Chains A and B, each alone.
Chain A
Amino acid sequence: MSVHTLTAARLPFADLVAPVAPSGVWQESAWLLVAIPLVSAAILLLAGKRSNRWGHWLGVAASAASFVIGALILVSLLGVPAEQRVVELHLFDWVSVGQLSLNAGMRLDPLSLTFVMLVTFVGTLIHVYSVAYMEHDKDRRRFFAYLNLFVAAMLLLVLGNSYLLLFVGWEGVGLASYLLIGFWNYRTEYAVAAKKAFVANRVGDLGLLLAMMTLFASVGALDFASVFAAVGSLDSSTVTILGLALLLAACGKSAQFPLQSWLGDAMAGPTPVSALIHAATMVTAGVYLVVRSAPIYEAAPNAQLAVVVVGAITLLFGAIVGCAKDDMKKALAASTMSQIGYMMLAAGLGPIGYAFAIFHLFTHGFFKAGMFLGAGSVMHGMNDQVDMRRFGGLARYMKVTWITFGLGWLAILGVPPFSGFWSKDKIIEAAFVPVEGAEWRAWVFGTVVLVGAGITAFYMSRLFFMTFHGEKRWTTAAEGAEQHPHESPRLMTWPMIVLAVGSVALGGLLSINSAFTTWLEPVTGHAEHHEPVLPVPVIMAATLVLVAIGLFLAWRQYAASTVPVVAPAGSLLTRAARRDLYQDEVNDLALVQPGAYLTRSLVYGDRQVVDGAVTGIAHGTVGLAERLRKLQTGYVRSYAATMLAGVVVLLVVVLVTRI
């Protein structure tokens, strides 16, 4: 059976698993997951400076409490059979006006709980890390308030049972991202970066709003249960529009092409922010949206193809850009963009890809967050420098960081038996699965994914070797900053260790008996196994070979030979990649300039036409008055002439009308 016939047989989606009511105290208290961090954020913001001494611990406690409750709900769900694992918890009636009736509720199912676990676990670790990382910052309490706000909004996003609640969470994480990127907003460029992120997100939000409006107009409701039940009755153009609008929203939030320009600049925020929001959780919200809206995409194959194409383009885009970045955090950001491209590509492949997209998302959360925390640790030890060309040879001085970072590096490369291997390889296999009627898809996307894996290996190894290996290229006292790299305090190293353990083991553990994919089946459906166009061992071997080649090339250039301290001129592609493949220029030309031009022309129109009309009336009146004034000659005789002329006119009128 091909994918298409499988798709056709699975509609309507709603019959897959019917939502049940919550059972047990933990499921019924699921709203605490959102409420606790939200209240904590409110307390921290309102209490002000008084809470500076204990504020950060409150933040950590709130995040940990959410993790504990989430774990308890997970345990309770694991105790029931698969058919009862989609729980809808009704919270309150939100809007009840005429035909419009929106309820606020939570959907506890495997997909949302996976995200809950990821967000709270990684989030709590990053909270602990931030206690030490932000120790010298006088605004640490505010930082924790924003982090808690983010956690609350992200949990609302994944737990909401309707597109409306999802949108509330969506906006909330956008707000938190803006606040956190621009945390040090006394530096203008950071504030500008925050604005850029927000605006790019806004463009994506437009897509989500469009989708919600279309849904409301055609289906009349926004909650997942009603929408998925009604998808089968919508005509194909509506569903395609829905799919494309949701894709636009996902692109904005997940920094996919064409809305990818904000992610590199978002590294202006503190490193814990980059780790939590722009690696593990917020940027994955787009993938969540696509997977959650699977029924819509199943009914719109063109939109699905668009998802795959977007994922493929971003995959390569991020990989190429990552090869040329000397700023460590920006290279990791490009890597994030590329990995999410993998996830989007998998999500666009249909049922065979949903589970692997989420799996890769989960493992990626661990190793990418771990690598970002490692980067933060390196920065902490090197006086907040980020230029990798001034690093080198740090392995000896920061052993824990080196080891944990190295484990994450191996995971992202996809080296067995680390996590990345289990998730990424499955995606590569799924990409090679043929689609009936479009043989080219398997070959094209499969090749893209393979090549992407090779390039990923190259640039991630480049990053690793430039930072930790090779000769020391540190700045000296003569250049203004003498470097004494040292290991970070325990509050920073322990989260990194925990995440490294996850990077190593989680993938393998969850792949035993396909535990993870089976766990997700109530949401993603059971996908039959299909043979890819190339045999699986061939694909696996090819992947490993490409990875090895990438690693070797990076080792040869950055570990075995000297790395120039000043970036060399490089080829055309290198220069373009350093400038993010001219994404800012393209955005400027395509959007900013026309927008500015439109604004200018509107201002011009307002001034000339509207104001011109008003002042024109004024000037006309004045001019008319000036001309009329000349009638007042002051001479009696001209007045007499006027009177006589008036009489003549009067006579003419009278005579004409009466004759």
Chain B
Amino acid sequence: MTLAASLTEAGNTSAGEAVVFWVLAPLMVLGALGLLLSRRTVHVAVSIAGVMVGLAILYIAQEAHFLGFVQVVVYTGAIMMLFIFVLMLVGVDASDSLVETLSGQRWIGVLAGTGLGVLLVTAVTRASFAAPQGLEAANADSNPVGVSRLVFGDFVLAFEATGALLVTAALGALILTHRRRLGRKVGQRETADARVLGGGRLTPLAAPGVYARHNAMDVPALDPYGNPIEESVSRVLRIRGQEAAAEEFAMRELSEADLVPEDQHLETTEDVPTTEEGGEQ
């Protein structure tokens, strides 16, 4: 099927195509602006879907029939639907406030965008192209045939690679979004049994020692037999050699003189009744 898409001798499009273009182009720009400026995310999605459809029509107007259909099927049909699904998932009423939080971002954005647009438009309009040739000859066996000749001929390697890419992407999406547990859930009883069977320490590590004259994390605690417990001091200190010896801080043997002398014992008052006296009475 041929549409009125052929070019004139001077390289200009036919009048019909011009009409199509001038009708669609503003609509598409409006749609894109809707993408930029809408507050409700669903409006955004619908606007961009509209832009995609407009693009499909333009492809067909430019004698890229295959691409136009693929655009509708893939982009508008699959990709935009994906977007809308995710939007629903995320929450359709989570409206995106248009107040800018980053300082200066709006101005930079507008400036850069405008600058980019101006520059690119300038570049494009001042570039000199060869006289447009149209796709009459290339589409001689119809556009899909011509495209497939290139895809499976000159670019078959790229084709295979993108195939692999697609497979990978599908797998990736599956993995990223999988929510169900893959194995059986291990309960607390099973975890505890595995720990006992595995041997090793079951109890928590001992804390460092606290002595009459020292209270720090570099002195080991003593076990009931009086031997220092190595693991009570941090492993790093042990490796560095900064562990202190426990004997330095142990209590001295009390000599007679160290004991509190008689006359300094606590005074007891006379009239505290003893239990015996109280009991006898």
- Interface of chain A residues 600 through 652 with chain B (CB within 8 A): 633, 635, 637-638, 641, 644-645, 647-648, 651-652
Contact B105 A638 (CB under 8 A): yes
Given A633-B102, A635-B102, A638-B102 in contact, is the A645-B108 Cβ separation under 8 Å? yes
Tell me which residues across on chain A come within 8 A of B126, comparing CB atoms. Answer: 659
* B123 interface contact, C-beta 8 A: yes
B105 x A637 contact (CB < 8 A) = yes
* Interface residue ranges of B70-110 to A (CB < 8 Å): 102, 105, 108-109
Contacts of B102 in A (CB 8 A): 633, 635, 637-638
- Cα A651 to Cα B116 in complex, Å, equals 8
Instruction: Tell me the minimal C-beta distance from A346 to chain B in angstroms.
Output: 85
CA distance A635 to B101 in the complex (A): 10
Docked-complex contact A648 and B105, CB < 8 angstroms: no
Contact A647 B105 (CB under 8 A): no
Contacts of A651 in B (CB 8 A): 116, 119-120, 123
Report A-chain residues with C-beta under 8 Å of the C-beta of B108: 638, 641, 645
Contact across chains for A652 and B105 when beta carbons are under 8 A apart? no
**Contact residues of A between 491 and 508, Cβ < 8 Å to B:** none
Bound complex: CA of A624 vs CA of B105, how far in Å? Answer: 22
Complex CA gap A528/B32 in Å reads 122
Contacts of A645 in B (CB 8 A): 108, 112
Tally inter-chain residue pairs, CB-CB below 8 A. Answer: 33
Find out whether the CB atom of A648 lies under 8 angstroms from the CB atom of B109: no
- Report the interface size for chain B: residues with CB under 8 A from the other chain: 13
Shortest CB distance A659–B (Å): 7
Give the residues in chain A near B122, CB-CB below 8 Å.
655
A641, B116: Cβ atoms closer than 8 Å: no
Chain B residue at minimal CB-CB distance from A650? B119
Distance (whole angstroms) from the CB of B101 to the closest CB of chain A:
9
Q: Out of A633, A647, A659, name the residue touching B116 (CB < 8 Å).
A: A647
Determine if B113 and A644 form an interchain contact, defined as CB atoms under 8 angstroms apart. Answer: yes
A89 vs chain B, min Cβ distance (A): 76
B115 within 8 A of A: yes
Q: Are the CB atoms of A648 and B123 closer together than 8 Å?
A: no
Chain B minimum-CB-distance residue to A635: B102
Closest to A649 in B: B115
Cβ contacts under 8 Å, A647 to chain B: 116
- On chain A, the residues within 8 Å of B109 by CB distance are 641, 644
Contacts of A638 in B (CB 8 A): 102, 105, 108
Residues of B within 8 Å of A641, CB to CB, are 105, 108-109, 112
* Chain A residues positioned under 8 Å from B120 (CB to CB): 651
Tally of A interface residues using CB under 8 Å: 13
Give the complex CA separation of A635 and B123 in angstroms. 31
The interface residues of chain B, by DSSP majority, are classed as: helix
Nearest CB in chain B to that of A651: its residue: B119
Residues of chain A with a CB closer than 8 A to B113's CB: 644
A644 to B111, alpha carbons, bound, how many Å?
10
Q: Chain B residues near A633 (CB, 8 Å)? A: 102
Contacts of B119 in A (CB 8 A): 648, 651-652, 655
Residues 262-280 of B at the A interface (beta carbon under 8 Å)? none
Q: How far is the CB of A552 from chain B (nearest CB, A)?
A: 92
Q: How far in angstroms is the closest Cβ of chain B from A213?
A: 66
Residues of chain B lying within 8 A (CB to CB) of residue A659:
126
Complex CA gap A648/B113 in Å reads 9
Interface 0/1 of A264-297, CB less than 8 Å to B: 0000000000000000000000000000000000
Within the complex, the shortest CB–CB distance from B145 to chain A, in Å, comes to: 38
- The smallest C-beta distance from B116 to any residue of chain A, in angstroms, reads 5
B116 surroundings in chain A (CB, below 8 A): 644, 647-648, 651
Q: How far is the CA of A651 from the CA of B102 in the complex (A)?
A: 26
- Bound state CA distance, A321 and B123, in angstroms? 97
CB of B103, distance to nearest CB on chain A (Å): 9
Task: Provide the residues of chain B in CB contact with A644, threshold 8 Å.
Answer: 109, 112-113, 116
Contacts of B105 in A (CB 8 A): 635, 637-638, 641
* B173 → A minimal CB distance (Å): 22
A322 vs B29: C-alpha distance when bound (angstroms)? 110
Question: Which of A635, A637, A638, A648 is the most central at the interface, judged by chain B CB atoms within 10 Å of its CB?
Answer: A648
CB closest residue in chain B, given A654:
B123
Q: How far is the CB of A254 from chain B (nearest CB, A)?
A: 72
Min CB distance, A633 to chain B, in Å?
A: 7
Q: Which of B112, B115, B122, B123 lies at the interface centre, i.e. has the most chain A CB atoms within 10 A of its CB?
A: B112
Q: How far is the CA of A645 from the CA of B115 in the complex (A)?
A: 9
Which chain B residue lies CB-closest to A646? B112
Cα(A641)–Cα(B119), bound, Å: 17
Interface residues of A in 129-153 (CB under 8 A from B): none
Closest beta carbon of chain A to B88's beta carbon, Å: 24
B106 nearest in chain A by CB position: A641
Inside 8 A of B123's CB, which chain A residues have their CB? 651, 655
CB distance from B122 to the nearest CB of A (A): 7
Q: How far is the CA of A651 from the CA of B127 in the complex (A)?
A: 14
Q: Give the distance in Å from the alpha carbon of A659 to the alpha carbon of B126 in the complex.
A: 9
A373 to chain B, nearest CB (A): 74
- Measured between beta carbons, the chain B residues less than 8 angstroms from A648 are 112, 115-116, 119
Instruction: Write the chain A residue with the least CB distance to B113.
Output: A644
Rounded to whole angstroms, the CA-CA distance of A638 and B116 in the bound complex is: 16
Closest B residue to A652 by beta carbon equals B119
A637 to B113, CA, bound (A): 13
Within 8 A of A (CB), among B188-237: none
What CA separation (Å) do A659 and B109 show in the bound complex? 27
| A647 CA to B123 CA, complexed, in Å | 14
In the complex, which residues of chain A have a beta carbon less than 8 angstroms from the beta carbon of B112? Answer: 641, 644-645, 648
What B residues does A635 contact at CB under 8 A? 102, 105
Distance in Å from the Cβ of B119 to the closest Cβ of chain A? 5
Q: A651 to B105, alpha carbons, bound, how many Å?
A: 21
Task: Please indicate the chain B residues that have their CB under 8 angstroms from the CB of A652 in the complex.
Answer: 115, 119
A652–B111 Cα gap in the complex (Å)?
14
What's the minimum C-beta distance from B99 to chain A, rounded to whole angstroms? 14
CB distance from B35 to the nearest CB of A (A): 16
CA distance A652 to B114 in the complex (A): 13
- Report chain A residues within 8 Å CB of B115: 648, 652
Complex CA distance for A647 and B115, rounded to whole angstroms:
10
A645 to B105, CA, bound (A): 12
Q: How far is the CA of A644 from the CA of B126 in the complex (A)?
A: 22
Task: Give the complex CA separation of A641 and B105 in angstroms.
Answer: 8
- Complex: how many Å from CA A637 to CA B126? 32
Instruction: Report A654 CB to chain B, min CB distance, Å.
Output: 8
Q: How far is the CA of A531 from the CA of B77 in the complex (A)?
A: 137
How far apart are A457's CB and chain B's nearest CB, in angstroms? 87
What's the nearest-Cβ distance from chain B to residue A646, in Å?
A: 9
B residues 105-141 in Cβ contact with A at 8 Å? 105, 108-109, 112-113, 115-116, 119-120, 122-123, 126
In the complex, what's the smallest C-beta–C-beta distance from B89 to chain A, in angstroms? 21
Q: Report the Cα distance A635→B122, complex, angstroms.
A: 31
Q: Mark B55-74, 1 if CB is under 8 A from A, else 0.
A: 00000000000000000000
User: Which residue on chain A has the smallest CB distance to residue B115?
Assistant: A648
Q: Which residue of A lies closest to B101 (CB)?
A: A635
CA–CA, A652 to B109, complex, Å?
17
User: What is the minimal beta-carbon distance from B36 to any residue of chain A, in angstroms?
Assistant: 14
Closest Cβ of chain A: how far from B117's Cβ, in Å?
10
Nearest opposing residue in chain A for B120, CB measure: A651
- In the assembled complex, how far is the CB of residue A638 from the closest CB belonging to chain B, in whole angstroms? 6
Nearest Cβ on chain A to B253's Cβ, whole angstroms: 57
Distance in angstroms from A658 CB to nearest chain B CB is: 9
How many Å from the CB of B53 to the closest CB on chain A? 27
* Top-8 shortest CB links A-B: A644-B112, A648-B115, A651-B119, A641-B108, A645-B112, A648-B116, A648-B112, A635-B102
Instruction: List 6 other contacts, CB 8 Å, given A652-B115, A655-B122.
Output: A637-B102, A638-B108, A641-B105, A641-B112, A644-B113, A655-B119
Q: Mind listing 28 A-B residue pairs with CB under 8 Å?
A: A633-B102, A635-B102, A635-B105, A637-B105, A638-B102, A641-B105, A641-B108, A641-B109, A641-B112, A644-B112, A644-B113, A644-B116, A645-B108, A645-B112, A647-B116, A648-B112, A648-B115, A648-B116, A648-B119, A651-B116, A651-B119, A651-B120, A651-B123, A652-B115, A652-B119, A655-B119, A655-B122, A659-B126
